[in-house]
Amino acid sequence: MLLIGAIPFRYLIVIVLTGTLILPFAYFFGLKDYQKKRITVQIDMLMGREVDIRNEAYSAHNNLMAIGSGGWAGKGFKNPDTLNYKGFISKDTAITDFIFPVLAEEHGFRGAFLMLSTFLLLLLQSLFVAFYAKDMVGRLLVVGVVALFFAHIFQNVGMNVLLMPITGIPLPLISYGGTFMVMVLFLQGLVQSVWVHRHDLQAEAKAASGMQIDHLN
């Protein structure tokens, strides 16, 4: 939104540098021990170091196993051989935070790829709407929705493939949750409203020009 809002580039540099300087203080003084452990476990697993898969690395390890065991076509819905069915993925999080490993294990790489491709199409269509918005307010609104959706998708999928630390962020339109679903649909409605009213500015300009011509006549 800062980029779309034409904020001077020097301001963006200052914001990025300030955030970079704050990160170490936020890690050592802002995070709790279990939150720090999630980050260190992720780094250890990426580096190939030994981790305790029965304790702090339990969820990350089982999620990766579920995603990898799905293969190309997956094991099928409610297959007794899946890690999700056997309970290695908690039933409370299998429908919310860890819905991606469940989907990848049951429907395979093609199912996960289809879902991510659909998300990509949704984001690109939203950017197309932002490009044709009638004013800066509509453009910023749509770009903000795109950024929010992208952050949720990237974090939810990334934390299951060791790209991001595990956090409780749901996957839009996929994870279980009534309130979150209502808000997602509400934001999509705002994007559609920007698209529907994209020609209002041109109509107002034509009407104003017509009134000026009539006044001169």
Q: CA-to-CA distance for 143 and 151, rounded, in angstroms?
A: 12
140 burial via Cβ count (<10 Å: 0-12, 13-18, 19+) = middle
What is the tens place of the pLDDT at every residue in 154-180? 999 998 888 888 888 899 999 888 889
Q: CA-to-CA distance for 211 and 208, rounded, in angstroms?
A: 5
Q: CA-to-CA distance for 214 and 143, rounded, in angstroms?
A: 39
Q: Residue 213 pLDDT > 60, yes or no?
A: no
What is the tens place of the pLDDT at every residue in 33-76? 888 888 888 888 888 888 878 888 888 888 888 888 888 888 88
Q: CA-to-CA distance for 23 and 7, rounded, in angstroms?
A: 23
Q: What residue type is 128 in one-letter code?
A: F
CB within 8 A of 140, min separation 6: which ones? 1, 4, 5
End-to-end Cα spacing for the chain: 44
Q: pTM for the complete prediction?
A: 0.81
